Amino acid sequence: MNSIHHLPYPDHLRVPSELTFERGWDGEAITELIRSKSGFGVAPAFLFLGRWESRLLADHLAEAFGHDAVESLHGTYYKGLKIVTVECDNFLSVGGCKKVRSEVEEDSRRQSWKEMDDSSIWRFRI
């Protein structure tokens, strides 16, 4: 019989915290951390937070949007990263990988005027 062990990801005992906040949330530090981990068309996908950092972020978001708007961080994104709470007191790390679309890719996805339906092309008649 196969047994599956569910380990918290990331393993906060082996992966060091990348930032430490003593007083309050620092959005600029998070931006710099994301930039340091981004490049070559990829960026981190997740923001892993311990309980302390989760509380700081919730307070930060509550100041901006009101306390009623921030009941929990479940399903919340911050600066494009999905927030994942790690079961430990203090931890902050970014991880995962997502592809960053460039403007060239976006342009190539658009239909050319020749590919559009006749109904979507305006006709000018005199």
What residue type is assigned to position 70 of the chain? V
The pLDDT tens digits for 65-88 are: 988 888 888 889 999 999 999 989
Distance CA 30, CA 22 (A): 14
* Domains in the chain: boundaries: 27-100
**DSSP annotation of 34:** H
pLDDT class for 125, splitting at 50, 70, 90? low
- As a whole number, mean pLDDT of residues 91-110 equals 73
More confident residue, 2 or 98: 98
Distance CA 95, CA 97 (A): 7
The pLDDT tens digits for 9-43 are: 667 677 888 999 988 999 999 999 999 999 888 88
Please check the confidence at residue 124 and state whether its pLDDT lies above 90.
Answer: no
pLDDT class for 106, splitting at 50, 70, 90? low
DSSP reduced 3-state for 99: strand
67: region left, alpha or beta (phi > 0 left; psi from -120 to 50 alpha): alpha
